[in-house]
Amino acid sequence: MVAKTMDQLVSLCKRRGFIFQNADIYGGMQGVYDYGPLGVELKNNLKAAWWRSMVYERDDIEGLDAAILTNRKVLHYSGHEDTFSDPMTDCRKCKGRFRADHIKDGKCPNCGSTDLTEPRPFNLMFKTTVGPVDNAENLAYLRPETAQAIFTQFKNVVDSTSRKLPFGIAQIGKSFRNEITPRNFIFRVREFEQAELEYFVMPGEDEKWHEMWKEARIKWWEEQGLPREHINIYTTPKEDLAHYAKACYDIEYQFPHGMEELEGIANRTDYDLGNHTKGQDELNLTSHCHPNSDSTTKLCIRDDESNSWVVPFVIEPSMGVDRGVLAVLTEAYEEEDLGEGNSRIVLKLKKHLAPIKVAIIPLKKNNEAIMNKCHEIKQNLLKLGIGRVALENTGNIGKAYRRHDEVGTPLCITVDFETIENQPESVTIRDRDTMEQHRVNIADLPTYLREYFLG
């Protein structure tokens, strides 16, 4: 893979409307980004691909969309209030603030000073208050992960769907972490989106399912355009595991800033359901569970074979959507030398991820007959359900092709004078990757595009 720099990707994202710095006109807000017209399409397409693979293509997974505001008790019994923190240190010379585990050789990353404070824990959760009175009783949090709502809604999902083990609950949604040092564009931010699956299995079968989901998720990332040779599997050492985990694999990708985590696949055992369960001692749960006197529910499921109640173990593939966007952009970005001093930037995104599927380009700007035919073609293509179809009325066919190469549009359709003067009506179709062009009859366009995108 040819190395791409973060500066190249950031420049493309701003220039072509993928991602903007939040509140840019006021100097920006560190660790917060907005998705522009094409970025929101790419992000939605990646989420749709994940949802399709998890919920639609399987018969053992249900979906959920839970609230962002989180009851304090949920995050108390999950362990987040006590353990969800990073070590923080300050530089007394430049007043910079950093994660202590990112300090190298005892020197400040900004100024090189060794005059640093002792590390101290910093809880990453955003606090807020619910209601008009700002006191401890009304304290709530913006959720630091989407998982906890899945666990607290476990019984409602089981009761309403009659699910039996093994089965899963999937969710895509925003999470919030007050990162000490957000960095590397959208890789580490304070407001981000997760796609998480909690897959519930019988105790004793968890290790088998952990391995299965690792392989399934690697295969899915390959389908999004990340080749296996650019992926690394990191097995987390026991001393570095999260407080809830028995084991964890990280799917790592070679981002412009280095090989880092793209998705985690954790074996959470029965930690979460046990901690949120009332009277868990009666169920003989694992010893690390909190004594829970606040919950009103036993989060367990009936095992038909043993005719007993079971608290399932949980396998959790957890994907960072924003990191996924960065990964597919990195992999797709290419700068091609076309010879004779010509070059182009092209995003070779997978077809299902491309923000714009087809661009319709009139050969002559504002020509009434050509434009009427462009609008007619667009309306007919929208009925195919292939995704966004754009009408490009710039009047410069070469610049239009280059722009759509940069944003990853797989096909461009050119409407010219031959289209409106000859019978049968035909258009020119140009392929993004090969730049080859050929004529297709308008009557054959629906079949051609269905086969290209959906076949």
Looking at residue 103, what is its pLDDT? 87
Q: Which pLDDT belongs to residue 82?
A: 79
Model pLDDT, residue 292: 62
Q: What is the CA radius of gyration of the chain?
A: 26
Q: What are phi and psi of 262, to 5 degrees?
A: -105, -40
pLDDT digits (tens, 9 = 90+) for 228-279: 999 999 999 999 898 889 999 999 999 999 999 999 999 999 989 988 886 6
Judge whether residue 190 has pLDDT over 80: yes
- Rounded Cα–Cα distance for residues 370 and 319 (Å): 45
- Global pTM? 0.90
- 51 touches 72 (CB < 8 A): no
- Residue 287: pLDDT band (50, 70, 90) is very low
287 φ, ψ to 5°?
A: -75, -15
pLDDT of residue 281: 53
Whether the pLDDT of residue 454 is over 90: the answer is no
For 133, counting Cβ atoms within 10 Å of its Cβ (0-12 exposed, 13-18 middle, 19+ buried), the class is exposed
Q: N- to C-terminal Cα distance for the chain? A: 29
Task: State the chain's mean pLDDT as an integer.
Answer: 91
Looking at the chain, the whole-number percentage of residues with pLDDT higher than 70 is: 96
Q: What percent of the chain has pLDDT over 90?
A: 73
Q: How far is CA 187 from the centre of its chain?
A: 10
pLDDT number for residue 288: 46
Q: Which residue has the higher pLDDT, 77 or 191?
A: 191
Report the pLDDT averaged over residues 6-34: 95
Are the C-beta atoms of 321 and 194 separated by less than 8 Å?
A: yes
Q: What digits encode the pLDDT tens for the residues 372-387?
A: 999 999 999 999 999 9
Query: Which pLDDT score, from 0 to 100, does residue 282 have?
Result: 52
- Supply the pLDDT for residue 368: 92
Q: Is the pLDDT of residue 409 over 90?
A: yes
pLDDT (0 to 100) of residue 37 = 97
- Structure confidence at residue 100 (pLDDT): 86
| Residue 117 banded pLDDT, cuts 50, 70, 90 | very high
**pLDDT attached to residue 286:** 45
Mean of pLDDT values over 202-208: 95
Confidence of residue 168 (pLDDT cuts 50, 70, 90): very high
Q: What secondary structure does DSSP assign to 368-411, as a single string?
A: HHHHHHHHHHHHHHHTTT-S-EEE---S-HHHHHHHHHHHT-SE
Runs of H (alpha helix) within 249-386:
271-275, 321-332, 368-382
